[in-house]
Amino acid sequence: MALVLGIETSCDETAVGIVDGRKLLANVISSSVEEHARFGGVVPEVASRAHLEAMQQVIKQALKDASVTLKDIDAIAVTAGPGLIGALLVGVSSASGLALALDKPLYGVNHLSAHIAVDQLDNDKKITPTIALLVSGGHSSILKVKNLATDVEVMGATIDDAAGEAFDKIARIMGLGFPGGPIIDKQSKDGDLNHVNFPRGLTSAADLDKHQYNFSFSGLKTAVARYIEKTPNYKKADVAASFQEAVVDVLLSKSLAACKESGIDNLVIAGGVAANSRLRELAKQRCEMSKIKLSIPPIALCSDNGAMVAALGSLAITQGVKPSQMGIGADSAASIAQVIW
């Protein structure tokens, strides 16, 4: 079993996780989210600086939580993309420095695959081959995963906003704060999800022809904005619940269609939006009905963290994937096809 330290800095979380094979030993997160809240979104320069300030302390705390020292670590993994370039570079430089100083292998890993890999911690589930619904602040994709470290194929993706981005934008329009996903999730609990029948993007017969597994949330965003404009006394909880239902419904219909068409009866849902309570509930119901095995990481491991990076590094080692070259950079627009650098 390899002891892997994973570093994640692709957005506003400075996060370090330590795993021993598939066992989670530490998961420390320092977030700069409050520094961004008043801007209604993450400010890249502010995030990079916060990573620099937090990095050493977060590494120290993770080692302490795992009751290990740097000398015990067998390999360093780090998110090399996609994400904010300045933020990614802080992580990649820190990881490269550590790997060099400790003379240990370095694994630059893909942030998106790492979101899925975290589902393998603390269990002996065999999740592949699987369809994966990856929903975060920057991405919404349906993936066919034969081998998480080596063979990931994109079946569909968003053609405009990501699912998390849609939650954040609607929360902003409704004056609810940032990040919007958790707030809308909470508001929706007191709302009627059938109150407004908001549009489900790219689900008409004509759209499905070209965009069977693609998503679009811009029409939904416009529909919510129009509804709010026309209905000054609208109830926030009802609009939040109806909006959330439209997103969740379309995410799940397309994911289940992908399972059916590809004859794969596993579905993994991962990324920050996988923390959404309605998505988790409806996924469970629909997968049970369709006899599909559903797997969603624990809520605490859905949003960005270092454990997921360590988990993917550990998986790469198990699969015999070669370490990355010393001197790798970061790729802000990395595609999911590049799992390990």
Q: Which residues pair with 154 in a beta bridge?
A: 143
Which residue number, 99 or 309, has a Cβ lying nearer to Zn ion?
309
Q: How many residues bind ligand KG4 (CB under 6 A)?
A: 20
Round to whole Å and give the CA distance between 300 and 182. 12
Whether the ω angle into residue 105 lies within 30 degrees of 0, i.e. cis, is: no
182 lines the binding site for ligand KG4 (CB under 6 A)? yes
Instruction: Candidates 32, 79, 94, 136: give the one binding Zn ion (CB under 5 A).
Output: 136
119 lines the binding site for ligand KG4 (CB under 6 A)? no
Q: Which residues pair with 268 in a beta bridge?
A: 132, 295
With CB under 5 to 8 Å by kind, the binding choice for 276 among Zn ion, ligand KG4, none is ligand KG4
Q: Which of these ranges, 178-186, 260-268, 304-312, 321-329, lies near Zn ion under the rule CB under 5 A?
A: 304-312
Q: Indicate the DSSP class of residue 119.
A: G
82 lines the binding site for ligand KG4 (CB under 6 A)? no
Instruction: Candidates 303, 311, 314, 323: give the one binding ligand KG4 (CB under 6 A).
Output: 303
Cβ(310)–Cβ(19) below 8 Å: yes
Helices marked H in 212-340 — which ranges?
218-230, 236-262, 277-290, 306-318
Q: Residue 318, Cα to own-chain centre: how many angstroms?
A: 23
Selection from 2, 22, 31 nearest residue 297 by Cα: 22
Cβ(331)–Cβ(80) below 8 Å: yes
With CB under 5 to 8 Å by kind, the binding choice for 181 among ligand KG4, Zn ion, none is ligand KG4
Report the nearest approach of ligand KG4 to the CB of residue 313 (Å): 18
Round to whole Å and give the CA distance between 159 and 86. 25
161 lines the binding site for ligand KG4 (CB under 6 A)? no
Q: Which of these ranges, 63-71, 128-136, 202-210, 288-296, lies near Zn ion under the rule CB under 5 A?
A: 128-136
138 lines the binding site for ligand KG4 (CB under 6 A)? yes
Q: Indicate the DSSP class of residue 160.
A: S
Footprint of Zn ion on this chain (CB under 5 A)? 136, 304
Q: Which residues contact ligand KG4 by CB under 6 A?
A: 11, 136-138, 164-165, 167-168, 179-182, 185, 271-273, 275-276, 303-304
